């Protein structure tokens, strides 16, 4: 027995140049010593940070020991967005959690609900981008509710999403950065070596932060619950009919863009929410910058209004009318247009009629009588319609040939006069 153990140890000490490396090799291949389970809706990095801290290790050092193949880069990127399948498998083995459960801690679990497909390297709509450089977030990429942290000290996955501006349970605003020093949150870094998540910049224990209550008259919590319901159930109800969550979120993104980027802000609830939050105006964004760049209270007002607009077709139509939004802007940059939305936008399309041959004949006669130049614009004005040359090319050709004949006649006439 003793011989066997010696043999094993010899193996470890001979294959590595020193004891430290032997330990590294062993840690890299073995399960975690203490194995936690992810909480419901816990975020991957939150789970990894908690696991590291319970081993009395800094999360970065811990990751370096257990994932040497990541070459010190484990937390050097947005891991909740970009964690690889291999790393997930390995982590599942190390913490003895089914890999499917672990996959649910990543943002890619929203695939098929918020987007068709998530892209690990570019921006994804609704996802706050922390812009991690050198393992620190350079921008506000995650928010938190101090009251939720008091109940259970872990970071919720939905706090990474731009519409999560308040906590519907505690009716308070989320903090988008450290309320003490203003630094963007980096939950894998901390100042104090304690269990509780704390700010690496000033040491503030996040669960001790003050909660800012939401105004009782605000609809922000109620409408956010509407978004969460769609996210959790996989569908939303509009005008009494169910609609795939994915379709609904595509339209939600489009409406927030109209409000924020295109300045279509004529909406009573938007105004009310802005007044409640003491927000005088929402600054126009830099060129095509996403809603994420607006401050949190502006976010809250924009999403609250957007959800209200999407509650019924009537609401949407009123919003379009009151802001004079053109179909081009309604559909701009939309790869896929959900049917429900398409139908409403169609109602705002300019009427495309295709007049019959006889009508064009008489219109030409009229133009000739009144010595109007025979051009398409005049035909459109006369018939009070938009003559679609593409869909009825036969009529269009007819019109053009008659016009050519007329012009030729005019030429003859001018020659005679000359």
What residues line the site for Zn ion (CB under 5 A)? Answer: 145, 147-148, 167, 169-170, 178, 180-181, 199, 201-202, 204
Q: What is the DSSP letter of 198?
A: B
The nearest distance, CB 151 to Zn ion, in angstroms, is 8
Judge contact between 202 and 262, C-beta under 8 A: no
Q: Which position has the token pair 């009825």?
A: 392
Neighbours of 221 (CB within 10 A): 18
Contacts of 111 (CB under 8 A, 6+ apart): 117, 118
For Zn ion, the closer CB: 186 or 304:
186
The nearest distance, CB 146 to Zn ion, in angstroms, is 8
**How many Å apart are CA 104 and CA 100, to the nearest integer?**
6
The nearest distance, CB 177 to Zn ion, in angstroms, is 8
For Zn ion, the closer CB: 166 or 297:
166
For Zn ion, the closer CB: 197 or 249:
197
The nearest distance, CB 202 to Zn ion, in angstroms, is 3
Is the sign of the CA dihedral 132, 138, 139, 143 positive or negative? positive
The nearest distance, CB 20 to Zn ion, in angstroms, is 34
**How many Å apart are CA 103 and CA 83, to the nearest integer?**
9
Give Rg (Cα) of the chain.
Answer: 31
For Zn ion, the closer CB: 197 or 260:
197
Contacts of 8 (CB under 8 A, 6+ apart): none
For Zn ion, the closer CB: 167 or 364:
167
The nearest distance, CB 110 to Zn ion, in angstroms, is 20
The nearest distance, CB 81 to Zn ion, in angstroms, is 24
Output the DSSP codes for 99-126.
Answer: HHHHHTTSGGGGBTTTBSS--SSS--TT
The 3-state DSSP class for residue 204 equals coil
The 3-state DSSP class for residue 91 equals helix
For Zn ion, the closer CB: 12 or 228:
228
The nearest distance, CB 54 to Zn ion, in angstroms, is 23
For Zn ion, the closer CB: 55 or 170:
170
**How many Å apart are CA 140 and CA 145, to the nearest integer?**
14
For Zn ion, the closer CB: 33 or 181:
181
For the chain, report the end-to-end CA distance as a whole number of angstroms.
123
The nearest distance, CB 152 to Zn ion, in angstroms, is 10
The two beta strands, 132-133 and 241-244, are unpaired
The nearest distance, CB 336 to Zn ion, in angstroms, is 34
**How many Å apart are CA 104 and CA 102, to the nearest integer?**
5
The nearest distance, CB 236 to Zn ion, in angstroms, is 23
**How many Å apart are CA 41 and CA 289, to the nearest integer?**
29
Q: Write out the two tokens for 293.
A: 């760049």
For Zn ion, the closer CB: 150 or 402:
150
CA distances from 235 to 106, 117, 175, 247, 413 (A): 21, 17, 29, 9, 69
For Zn ion, the closer CB: 169 or 332:
169
The 3-state DSSP class for residue 372 equals coil
Judge contact between 156 and 43, C-beta under 8 A: yes
For Zn ion, the closer CB: 199 or 245:
199
Strand locations in 46-169 (E): 132-133, 136-137, 166-167
């Amino acid at each position: 027995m003793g011989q066997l153990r010696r043999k094993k140890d010899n193996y470890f000490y001979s294959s590595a140049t020193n004891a430290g490396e032997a330990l590294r090799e062993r840690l890299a291949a073995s399960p975690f010593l203490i194995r936690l389970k992810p909480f419901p809706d816990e975020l991957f990095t939150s789970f990894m940070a908690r696991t590291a801290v319970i081993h009395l290790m800094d999360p970065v050092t811990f990751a370096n020991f257990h994932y040497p193949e990541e070459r010190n880069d484990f937390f050097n990127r947005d891991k909740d967005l970009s964690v690889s399948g291999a790393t997930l498998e390995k982590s599942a083995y190390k913490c003895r959690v089914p890999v499917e459960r672990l996959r649910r801690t990543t943002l890619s679990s929203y695939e098929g609900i918020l987007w068709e497909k998530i892209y690990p390297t570019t921006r994804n709509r609704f996802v706050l981008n922390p812009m991690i450089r050198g393992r620190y977030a350079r921008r506000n990429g995650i928010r938190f509710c101090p009251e939720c942290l008091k109940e259970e000290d872990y970071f919720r996955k939905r706090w990474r999403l731009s519409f999560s501006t308040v906590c519907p349970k505690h009716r308070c605003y989320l903090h988008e950065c450290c309320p003490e020093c203003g630094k963007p949150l980096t939950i894998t870094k901390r100042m104090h070596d304690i269990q509780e998540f704390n700010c690496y910049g000033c040491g503030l224990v996040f669960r001790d932060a003050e909660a800012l209550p939401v105004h009782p008259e605000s609809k922000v919590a109620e409408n956010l619950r509407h978004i969460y319901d769609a996210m959790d159930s996989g569908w939303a109800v509009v005008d009494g009919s169910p609609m795939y969550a994915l379709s609904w979120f595509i339209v939600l993104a489009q409406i927030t863009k109209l409000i924020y980027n295109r300045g279509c802000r004529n909406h009573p609830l938007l105004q009310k929410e802005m007044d409640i939050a003491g927000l005088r105006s929402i600054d126009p964004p830099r060129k095509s910058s996403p809603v994420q760049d607006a401050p949190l209270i502006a976010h809250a007002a924009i999403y609250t209004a957007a959800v209200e607009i999407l509650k019924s077709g009537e609401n949407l139509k009123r919003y379009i009318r009151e802001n004079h939004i053109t179909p081009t802007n309604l559909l701009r940059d939309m790869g896929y247009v959900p049917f429900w939305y398409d139908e409403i936008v169609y109602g705002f399309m300019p009427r495309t009629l295709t007049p019959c041959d006889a009508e064009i004949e008489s219109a030409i006669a009229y133009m000739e009588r009144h010595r109007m130049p025979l051009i398409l614009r005049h035909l459109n004005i006369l018939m009070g319609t938009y003559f679609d040359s593409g869909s009825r090319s036969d009529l269009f050709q007819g019109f053009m040939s008659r016009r050519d004949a007329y012009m030729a006649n005019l030429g003859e006439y001018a020659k005679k006069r000359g």
